Amino acid sequence: MAGTITEKILKQHIVEGSPVVGEEVALKIDHTLTQDATGTMAYLQFEAIGIDRVKTEVSVSFVDHNTLQTDFKNPDDHRYLQSVAEKFGIYFSRPGNGICHQVFLERFARPGKTLIGSDSHTPTAGGIGSFAMGAGGLDVATAMAGAPFRIKYPQIVGVKLTGKLPDWVSAKDVILEVLRRIDVKGGVGKVLEYFGPGVKTLSVPDRATITNMGTETGCTTSIFPSDEITKEFLIAQDRGDQWVSLEPDAGATYDEIIDINLSELEPLVALPHSPGKVKPVRELAGMKVDQVSIGSCTNSSLRDLKVVANVIKDKTVSENLHMTISAGSRQVVEHLIDSGEMKYLVQAGARLLENTCGPCIGMGSAPCSAGVSVRTFNRNFEGRSGTKDAQVYLASPEVAVATAITGVLTDPRTLGEYPKFDMPKRFFVNDNMIIKPLPYNEAKEVDVVFGPNIAPLPTFPPLPDVLSGEVLLKTGDNITTDHIMPAGAKILPLRSNVPEISKYVFEAVDSKFHDKALEKGGGFIVAGENYGQGSSREHAALAPKYLGVKAVITKSFARIHLANLINFGIVPLTFKNPADYDKVDPGDVLDVVIGDLRGDVTLQNKTKGIDIPLTHTLSELDAEILKVGGKLPWIKERI
């Protein structure tokens, strides 16, 4: 039977379950990646499982988030991560080598392989034909231990591309167009699989931009074919032997099709504070801008920065704003230096930052008060930039550099002729900043190094049949993991210390949440649609669990956060009738009768004297994991 790319890869990797939409399947995982903001906790969990070497084909630990070293915490974590990599057979990408998704695409990603990473933008590797998914750190830890990764078998949405992008329009505009059509929850339970003649006009970095930011639709992952374009990229990276052809069969069918004519696209921009709030740049042109930031895992490739360098050549950054640039990898920097294009950026007055995530996660370069920042990033959630009242717009490198020159939001098509530049036939390959795994006989002699900020893993007891407590917080729709567990230079260094980081849970929503949760002995969170969208950060489940949160009751959940709640023993429940959301208020005392979680659940609102029916999407295995207190005690019994 004719198959899609998704069907072909999943067929080879399903070890349990049937390929029926909505049914749970367990997948064999070939590759994993972690980054330092989530990796320290993931490796503490891996150590707690108790095996002596990873079971995956390739696992890579990156340091790219917490590189701002204002005290001992981040460098101590980096030292821990390097020693863990040496001990357990993991590649280690050293600080400053590059952003995990860019470097993984360049040096590790392979067509047809499954990949999970403790970062929500892991689907970047879908640009090369990997089936790549973001996941919580505990799911990555258990995959490294040899356990399969479980997902609901997705609907497969075919995104048919025809035509060719006009000058000044790029891959960022393609994914912004997808977001304009389906918004930030339109991809939930789905894979976005790109096909059609327009695919052949896009390079691997173009495709990776699209799959990277596809995460913002809530989809399971996004994926492109592995074709002659993919082969050329792998040959240029000195990895031609890893190429395999992977394209949909002629008769392949999709559950839904989205048609996009690339020739008809124009420069787009996402408005504050959602990646799905998309408009044409021309409708907002002329708006004063205070900052332009170019980079992140979405738009830091050599192609993107060559565009920027050649547009700004012999020009100067507007005196009304400042401009930052974060290259995605040392390979990108080396090419820009060799070609002389780095000089264009320096002469223009761009501020050159380290090859890291940086401003995207609020790690430096925050905008001014009420500042307008145009960024080539993938998220513009309120406060994520480090400035609460900043207005962040998401755009392509073309829009960003045009804006940097003029000082106002600018449609780049007004600049005239599109710059011409050449991409290298062969990339500079220098893996000296990637430490390879030690042989087992050497690795077993390595001592793991712990810094004083690394706290022991908290442990949680099994769940009773009835959960009791107050409603600690009630929120609206689209609460992000940045709302639940903020990032930024102050909080990210605490990722390996749950008692300390828990003090910042819901800080931007309710500054008294931490104290209230401890005073009340825990309780419940009530929320609207799409609760937990955004980052894969498991601390958004782990820290609330530490504070005693027993269940989250919503209208709907984002995929990765739902899995993280299960992993840490917080029961994810939904209103059977969404209108019942209005019948529960902060301070209400609840008994939630969960039993064995094999069926529906009853919420008894003691304050209002009413019963409310709840439901869930838990499998029998999910229920089993929850009842024993989470995935770590469950997996330790089995491995």
Position 477 in a domain: yes
- Answer whether residue 218 shows pLDDT above 90: yes
pLDDT of res. 487: 86
Task: State the DSSP string of 107-153.
Answer: HT--TT-EEEESSTTGGGGGGGT-EEEE--HHHHHHHHTT--EEEEP
What confidence tier does 535 reach under pLDDT thresholds 50, 70, 90?
A: confident
Q: Which residue has the tokens 């992977």?
A: 246
Name, in order, each residue with C-beta under 8 angstroms of 562's C-beta and a sequence gap of 6 or more.
532, 572, 617
Q: Are residues 242 and 314 in the same domain?
A: no
Q: In the predicted model, what is the mean pLDDT of residues 214-231?
A: 98
Q: In the predicted model, what is the mean pLDDT of residues 609-633?
A: 95
Q: Are residues 624 and 492 in the same domain?
A: yes
Q: Are residues 308 and 379 in the same domain?
A: yes
- Give the domain-ending residue among 345, 378, 412: 412
H/E segment holding residue 319: none
Are the CB atoms for 590 and 470 separated by under 8 Å?
yes
**What is the arrangement of strands in the sheet containing 155-162, beginning at the earlier edge strand?**
221-223, 190-195, 155-162, 256-261
Write the CA distances from 595 to 460, 576, 602, integer angstroms: 18, 17, 10
Q: Are residues 363 and 483 in the same domain?
A: no
**Minimum mean pLDDT range among 191-205, 350-364, 391-405, 463-477:** 350-364
Average pLDDT over the chain, rounded to whole?
96
Position 198 in a domain: yes
pLDDT of res. 163: 98
CA–CA dist 472, 522 (Å, integer)? 8
pLDDT of res. 255: 97
pLDDT of res. 371: 96
pLDDT of res. 457: 87
Any idea what the CATH number is for the domain that residue 328 is in? Answer: 3.30.499.10
- Answer whether residue 168 shows pLDDT above 90: yes
pLDDT digits (tens, 9 = 90+) for 310-332: 999 999 999 999 999 999 999 99
Any idea what the CATH number is for the domain that residue 588 is in? Answer: 3.20.19.10
What confidence tier does 2 reach under pLDDT thresholds 50, 70, 90?
A: confident
Rg (CA), the chain: 24
pLDDT digits (tens, 9 = 90+) for 240-299: 999 999 999 999 999 999 999 999 999 999 999 999 999 999 999 999 999 999 999 999
Q: In the predicted model, what is the mean pLDDT of residues 126-147?
A: 96
CA–CA dist 49, 63 (Å, integer)? 23
Q: Are residues 592 and 501 in the same domain?
A: yes
Q: In the predicted model, what is the mean pLDDT of residues 217-230?
A: 98
Q: Are residues 247 and 226 in the same domain?
A: yes
Q: In the predicted model, what is the mean pLDDT of residues 504-511?
A: 94
Q: Are residues 544 and 588 in the same domain?
A: yes
Give the residue numbers annotated as catalytic, written as ranges: 64-65, 119, 379, 535, 537
The count of domains in the chain is 3
Position 433 in a domain: no
- Give the domain-ending residue among 222, 244, 264: 264
What confidence tier does 236 reach under pLDDT thresholds 50, 70, 90?
A: very high
Q: Are residues 141 and 246 in the same domain?
A: yes
Q: In the predicted model, what is the mean pLDDT of residues 70-74?
A: 90
Q: Which domain holds residue 115?
A: 5-264
What confidence tier does 69 reach under pLDDT thresholds 50, 70, 90?
A: confident
CA–CA dist 130, 576 (Å, integer)? 36
Q: Are residues 32 and 109 in the same domain?
A: yes
Q: Which amino acid is at 173?
A: D
Q: Which of 585, 571, 604 is nearest to 475 (CA)?
A: 585
586: left (phi over 0), alpha (psi -120 to 50) or beta: beta
pLDDT of res. 362: 87
Position 419 in a domain: no
Q: In the predicted model, what is the mean pLDDT of residues 582-598?
A: 96
pLDDT of res. 27: 98
Name, in order, each residue with C-beta under 8 angstroms of 632's C-beta and a sequence gap of 6 or more.
45, 48, 49, 138, 457, 567
pLDDT of res. 607: 98
Position 209 in a domain: yes
CA–CA dist 287, 283 (Å, integer)? 10
pLDDT of res. 363: 86
What confidence tier does 220 reach under pLDDT thresholds 50, 70, 90?
A: very high
Q: Are residues 504 and 599 in the same domain?
A: yes
Position 439 in a domain: no
Position 457 in a domain: no
Q: Are residues 254 and 276 in the same domain?
A: no
Q: Are residues 18 and 37 in the same domain?
A: yes
Q: Which residue has the tokens 């559950």?
A: 255
Position 453 in a domain: no
HSE at residue 564, side-chain half, CA atoms within 13 A, is: 31
- Enumerate the H helices of 428-549 as residue ranges: 440-443, 481-484, 498-501, 513-520, 539-546
